[in-house]
Amino acid sequence: MPGINDAPEQIEPLLEAAAQAGASFVNGIALHLRKGVREVFMDWLRAARPELVPRYEALYARGAYAPKGERERIASLIRRAGTNPRWLRPASRRGAPPRPVQETLF
């Protein structure tokens, strides 16, 4: 999510967690803010990260999807981090995945 977990130093731990959970493929996509979700997310953003509100209002001014340039930026972060050979090993060589735990957004 732009400004929340898209810094390059945040991507590697996210990929590591995905690998530990048994993921064999990760793809980066920008946040979709469709009606209903948008209102809840923006209320949370105003309370938790008010400095990001103008950025999100600009990014999502035209609808539920981020502009093409932002979508490409997010995808490229994952592609660059995913070139680390550690992420390219088959899941079967990483050992059995741990039991998944459902995290919370808020």
Note whether residue 1 is domain-resident.
Answer: no
Note whether residue 94 is domain-resident.
Answer: no
Residue range 13-47, pLDDT digits in tens = 888 888 888 887 777 888 999 999 999 999 999 99
Note whether residue 51 is domain-resident.
Answer: yes
Note whether residue 103 is domain-resident.
Answer: no
pLDDT at 87 over 60: no
Q: What is the pLDDT of residue 82?
A: 62
Note whether residue 14 is domain-resident.
Answer: yes
pLDDT at 50 over 90: yes
Note whether residue 2 is domain-resident.
Answer: no
C-alpha 95/C-alpha 24 separation (Å) is: 12
Does pTM top 0.75 for this prediction?
no
- Distances from the Cα of 51 to the Cαs of 54, 64, 102, 103, in angstroms? 7, 20, 28, 24
C-alpha 6/C-alpha 14 separation (Å) is: 10
| Owning domain of residue 50 | 8-88
| Token pair in block for residue 77 | 């972060």
Total domain count, the chain? 1
